[in-house]
Amino acid sequence: MAREGFIEVTGGRVWYRSVGDGGVPLLCLHGGPGFTHYYLEPLEALSDRRQVIFYDQLGCGRADRPDDPGLWTVDRFVEELAQVRDALGLGRLHLFGSSWGGMLAQQYVLDRRPELESLILCGSPASMVRWAEDCAELLAAQPGDVRRVIREHEEAGFTACPEYQAAILGFYREHVCRLVPWPAGLERSFAEAGYAVYNTMNGPSEFTVTGTLKTWDIMGRLGEISVPTLLIGGRHDECRPSHLEEMHRRIPGSQLAIIEDASHLCFAEQPEEFTALVNAFLAGAESQ
């Protein structure tokens, strides 16, 4: 039976959902920033062995949406994570982060040095500079007329235009989620996303990073991570395998898994392979 509720954090309330019982809990951090927990619903399959907890970060989904751009900082989201963990009494803990959620998890580990059983980074970069360069290469493979529409709309500042949104869809279908149709949880995440957060910190699209995260880069600090770490991504992920491979080389003792025929949402695209990989990793981390 699921348990749900609100938690007071700096700036307002976040909403959480907990499924499963027993085992060492797994706390799951969604991407965006501002993209809601709904697209992570396939991870509920892990709750047959442990408690699995999700929460909507401030500014999106069922969390409060304060009108204060000063709240949309990495440091405040790190503090929010610490507050959620404390409120839920999560002593022993595995931490999972998808995309931005993994960036947040890495910053939390580096800044707070928390006690953790393990860390799972799924399609999560360590450098937004590298991410932008990689996405530019992936975008170059899109048709010329699509690239022209994207370029002209971004130069004019018309990224909310339906024509722009239609043009970026090809990139998303190739590198974000390759399922047809898209899962309902992903659709709901787009519908209930906190675009004020996303636009402030990221920018107008996955491949055009103009927000405050534009220069975020912790690649040089990855050697400080001493928690058992699994890096996982899809072969066609916008967080490219070569990026994850470099992170793997820099994080001592880390493991790397690239899932074929999958992209950014590899846990939704290849759920059985993903679940088996994660369960095996978590069991191994707990036996150390």
Domains in the chain, please, with CATH? 3-287 (3.40.50.1820)
Q: How far is CA 76 from the centre of its chain?
A: 17
| Residues linked to residue 62 through DSSP beta bridges, in sequence order | none
Amino acid at 7: I
- d(Cα 120, Cα 274) in Å, to the nearest integer? 12
DSSP secondary-structure letter at 208? B
- 5: its two tokens: 């509720």
Average pLDDT for runs of 10 along the chain of length 288: 95 98 97 98 97 98 97 98 98 98 98 98 98 93 92 88 90 96 97 96 90 97 98 98 98 98 98 98 94
pTM confidence score: 0.97
- 19: its two tokens: 């499924």
- d(Cα 276, Cα 14) in Å, to the nearest integer? 30
- d(Cα 253, Cα 277) in Å, to the nearest integer? 17
- 156: its two tokens: 């004019």
Question: DSSP characters for 18-38?
Answer: EE--SSS-EEEE--TTT--SG
Give the 3-state secondary structure of residue 214: coil
Please identify every residue annotated as catalytic. 99, 237, 264
Amino acid at 229: T
Which residues have CB under 8 Å from 26's CB, separation 6+? 43, 46, 50, 51, 52, 53, 93, 94, 95, 96, 282
The pLDDT of residue 206: 86
Name the E strands within 20-87: 26-29, 52-56
If 0-12 CB within 10 Å is exposed, 13-18 middle and 19+ buried, where does residue 218 land? buried
Q: At what angle do helices 241-250 and 128-139 cross, to 10 degrees?
A: 160
Amino acid at 68: D
Phi, psi for residue 53 in degrees, rounded to 5: -125, 135
- d(Cα 47, Cα 26) in Å, to the nearest integer? 9
Q: How far is CA 190 from CA 27, 59, 65, in A?
A: 22, 13, 16
- d(Cα 246, Cα 274) in Å, to the nearest integer? 21
Name the E strands within 112-251: 118-122, 229-234
